[in-house]
A = this chain, B = another copy of it.
Amino acid sequence: MLFFDNDYSEGAHKKVLEHLVKTNMEQLPGYGEDHYCQSAKEKIRRACGCPEADIFFLVGGTQTNQIVISAMLKPYEGVIAAETGHISIHEAGAIEISGHKVLELAHKEGKLSAETLKSYLRTFYEDENCEHRVFPGMVYISHPTEYGTLYTKGELKELSAVCSEYHIPLYMDGARLGYGLAAEGTDVTLPDVAECCDVFYIGGTKAGALCGEAVVFPRGNMPLHFMTMVKQRGALLAKGRLLGVQFDALFTDDLYFEISRNALRTAKMLKKVFREKGYELYLESPTNQIFVVLENKKLKELEKEVKMSFWEKKDGCHTVVRFATSWATRMEDVYKLAVLL
């Protein structure tokens, strides 16, 4: 069976695992107070170009979104997101259970435009009854988006400017940030992200770690008693080392970016194969997710030997399917898939 259904099918990258094994019996303080967490944070600060950044390691993406958003919003505020955003649809109501509304705006290939955002905010404050509504208190974007698309540096700056104008933070979900930053043709760097966003996370789970996301508050702007709020939401690891050691490995010798490039190389080859074989791409994604329109008959046939993700029905005879590559994808599996196509 070939696995192209997601980017979290394997365990950890070899070097990450080795670091865990090597440090395993070291006796360390709990709750992220250990020196591996400190070292990992320092390396991430350097990679972001933010010497004053506050960094906190959490376990998973939905958890991170829930905690960051609920810790930063006031009770009367909601978070703006594209209607296709992960928090809008695929997190089982994690934002709402924390008491906040997701204010869903129109998107274009998963992206939220500065124009759409600005128009929403302007109209909101023009409404004489806005005191009876949920105040927009934060903007959530993901990079890459749910469709694998990327913001340009210019677009991020524009979003950032609108947020500044309305005094609300810009938050980037970076579950697949490595795959975004390592993409061909992108003009966005990690320091750019740190400059444009008020808070963002660097995803580990989908890029070489067993689990783990590094939340970055680039200007030392972590909310007061953030650790207590993490504990209160059940997300404080006793063995914080598990996250620190992994990020320490990922941010040593550029490992995070290097392994991300493997996903992009294999995805590029796979897109080439699809195109050459005449398959219709549902949209052009520059990252590790490929959305393809398959005839249902072909889909059935492929499913016997390939794992992929159902995306949506296109019509009675066609289905949109997602193929994902990752840091662990082997080019030989792409070739095997090519044969099947």
Does the CB pair A231–B91 fall under 8 Å?
Answer: yes
Known: A75-B70, A235-B63. A228 touches B96 (CB 8 A): no
Considering the complex, which residues of chain A in the window 30-88 have a beta carbon less than 8 Å from any beta carbon of chain B?
Answer: 30, 59-67, 70-71, 74-76, 78
B residues less than 8 Å from A90 (CB atoms): 129, 132-133
B residues less than 8 Å from A11 (CB atoms): 20, 23-26, 239, 241-242
Q: Does A202 contact B (CB under 8 A)?
A: no
Does the CB pair B30–A10 fall under 8 Å?
Answer: no
Known: A91-B232, A92-B134, A225-B135. A60 touches B238 (CB 8 A): yes
Q: Does A272 contact B (CB under 8 A)?
A: no
Does the CB pair B134–A234 fall under 8 Å?
Answer: no
Q: Does A191 contact B (CB under 8 A)?
A: no
Chain A window 240-253, contacts with chain B (Cβ cutoff 8 Å), 1 for yes, 0 for no = 01100000000000
Tell me the smallest distance from the CB of A221 to a CB of chain B, in Å: 16
Distance A97 CA – B97 CA, assembled complex (angstroms): 7
Does the CB pair B131–A227 fall under 8 Å?
Answer: yes
Count of residues in A whose CB is under 8 Å from the partner chain: 82
Does the CB pair A228–B23 fall under 8 Å?
Answer: no
Does the CB pair B92–A76 fall under 8 Å?
Answer: yes
Q: Does A205 contact B (CB under 8 A)?
A: yes
Known: A60-B237, A96-B99, A232-B91. A24 touches B17 (CB 8 A): yes
Residues of A within 8 A of B (CB): 1, 3, 5-6, 8-12, 14, 17, 20-21, 23-30, 59-67, 70-71, 74-76, 78, 89-97, 99-102, 104, 126-129, 131-135, 205-206, 210-211, 224-225, 227-229, 231-239, 241-242, 310, 313, 328
